[in-house]
């Protein structure tokens, strides 16, 4: 969802940076990039060991991040072409949403953009123990769909998401909303597109 359907990664980044700043944590850009596509709980688990954070500090980072994010989430907009693509795809394919987002946040955005009814299966952070790059979120989704991995295409914007998609055994499409074409290809994307119009064209031809 984040970075694929919703242009939310910049807000996630600002919220994390603000929470880190108030806690005195400074992350290099290359380290920060590894957090894209990972849920908040997984991010905090990494940082607890990396910075020897106490339970109170960890909880405060999450509180600060959520407060900043929720204060601006009403301004979020879909990725250009994403909603048209979802409506078009709904007429041709079985659709599922597999996301690291929390149930509250996922439900808020699906309701905001009126797309929840278009997805046959929805899997969010409440059902997943191991976050991306673990393939668990996709494995759960495949099981709910009763489909083999080789029959499915996953659209991802992040390194962690693409690694998870390939580990799940699916065809992985990288969309360049968060990372460059070169990075997505080097991560293992089977196809890289700049936008949903390109992806629709590929699928229509197929």
Examine residue 133 and say whether the peptide bond preceding it is cis (omega within 30 degrees of 0).
yes
pLDDT of 181 reads 97
pLDDT tens digits, 100-117: 888 999 999 999 999 999
Q: Kindly state whether residues 42 and 93 are assigned to the same domain.
A: no
Residue 20 lies in a domain: yes
Q: Kindly state whether residues 57 and 115 are assigned to the same domain.
A: no
Q: Kindly state whether residues 95 and 189 are assigned to the same domain.
A: yes
CA distance 163 to 160: 5
Q: Kindly state whether residues 70 and 92 are assigned to the same domain.
A: no
pLDDT of 116 reads 95
pLDDT of 133 reads 92
Q: Please name the residue ranges forming H helices in 24-54.
A: 29-33, 40-51
Q: Kindly state whether residues 86 and 172 are assigned to the same domain.
A: yes
Residue 115 lies in a domain: yes
Q: Which two tokens stand for residue 91?
A: 């007429």
Q: Kindly state whether residues 16 and 43 are assigned to the same domain.
A: yes
pLDDT tens digits, 130-145: 989 999 999 999 999 9
pLDDT of 9 reads 85
Q: Kindly state whether residues 118 and 178 are assigned to the same domain.
A: yes
Q: Which of 29, 54, 75 is the last residue of a domain?
A: 75
CA-closest candidate to residue 140, choices 111, 164, 174: 164
DSSP string over 46-74: HHHHHHT--HHHHHHHHHHHHHHHHHHGG
Residue 1 lies in a domain: no
pLDDT of 118 reads 98
Contact yes or no for 124/102 (Cβ under 8 A) = yes
- The 3-state DSSP class for residue 174 equals strand
Q: Which of 75, 98, 132 is the last residue of a domain?
A: 75
Q: Kindly state whether residues 44 and 89 are assigned to the same domain.
A: no
CA distance 46 to 49: 6
Q: Kindly state whether residues 68 and 112 are assigned to the same domain.
A: no
**Mean pLDDT of the chain, nearest integer:** 93
Low-confidence stretches of the chain (pLDDT < 70) are none
Residue 29 lies in a domain: yes
For 206, other C-beta atoms within 10 Å of its C-beta total 6
Q: Kindly state whether residues 97 and 190 are assigned to the same domain.
A: yes
CATH number of the domain enclosing 178: 3.40.50.1000
Q: Kindly state whether residues 51 and 107 are assigned to the same domain.
A: no
Q: Which of 41, 57, 75 is the last residue of a domain?
A: 75
pLDDT of 199 reads 98
Residue 161 lies in a domain: yes
pTM metric for this prediction? 0.85
| Domain carrying residue 14 | 9-75
User: How many domains does the chain fold into?
Assistant: 2
């Amino acid at each position: 969802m984040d970075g694929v359907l919703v242009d939310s990664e910049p807000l996630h980044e600002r919220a994390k940076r603000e929470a880190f700043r108030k806690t005195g944590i400074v992350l290099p850009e290359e380290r920060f990039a590894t957090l894209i596509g990972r849920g908040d709980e997984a991010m905090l688990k990494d940082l607890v060991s990396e910075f020897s954070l106490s339970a109170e500090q960890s909880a405060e980072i999450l509180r600060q991040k959520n407060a900043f994010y929720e204060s601006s989430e009403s301004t979020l907009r879909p990725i250009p072409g994403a909603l048209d693509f979802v409506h078009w795809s709904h007429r041709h394919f079985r659709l599922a949403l597999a996301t690291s987002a929390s149930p509250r946040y996922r439900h808020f955005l699906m309701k905001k953009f009126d797309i929840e009814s278009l997805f046959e299966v929805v899997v969010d952070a409440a059902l997943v123990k191991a976050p991306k790059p673990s393939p668990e979120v996709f494995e759960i989704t495949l099981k709910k769909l009763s489909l083999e991995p080789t029959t499915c295409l996953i659209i991802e914007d992040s390194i962690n998401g693409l690694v998870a998609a390939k580990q799940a055994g699916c065809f992985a499409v990288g969309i360049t909303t968060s990372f460059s074409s070169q990075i997505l290809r080097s991560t293992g994307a089977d196809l890289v597109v700049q936008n949903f119009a390109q992806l629709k064209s590929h699928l229509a031809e197929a």
